[in-house]
Amino acid sequence: MKKTFYLLLCTIAIVLTTMVVLSQNDKNCTVSGKVVESSSKEVIDNALVTVSKKGVVIAKTFVNQDGSFKLKNLPSEVLEFTIQNVAYNCYSKTVNLKDVRNMNIGNVGLELMDTVLDELIIEVKRKI
């Protein structure tokens, strides 16, 4: 009876260890790149890089002052990358990480947003 119990306990330990190792191996992809203005190639900092899977955000980071970004511990699946900045058009790209550990998507060029604002009137009222 004790041998059966120890055998069952060892089997459970091996299965759990295998599951932990496999789940860690599934989330070890890294994606990096640099965000620049598309025409002048000047660095754009403070852009938000978001990674989503089937519409659910799984990771996000801000671009560094030198325009670079790096996202670690991503699952090895097909993911959607979105880069946003207030003054620029949104950039989206689908990336397949199934057979890749490290991916550098290079320079990502954002285009200035062509937005015409309506007239804005600011009134200040003071109590006398």
Give residue-wise pLDDT tens across range 20-43: 444 444 668 999 999 999 989 999
Start-to-end CA span in the chain (Å): 93
DSSP-derived secondary structure letter, 43: B
| Residues of the chain below pLDDT 70 | 1-3, 5-27, 115-117
Q: pLDDT at position 24, please?
A: 45
pTM greater than 0.85? no
DSSP-derived secondary structure letter, 76: S
Q: pLDDT at position 22, please?
A: 47
Residue 28 sits at φ, ψ, to 5 deg, of -130, 30
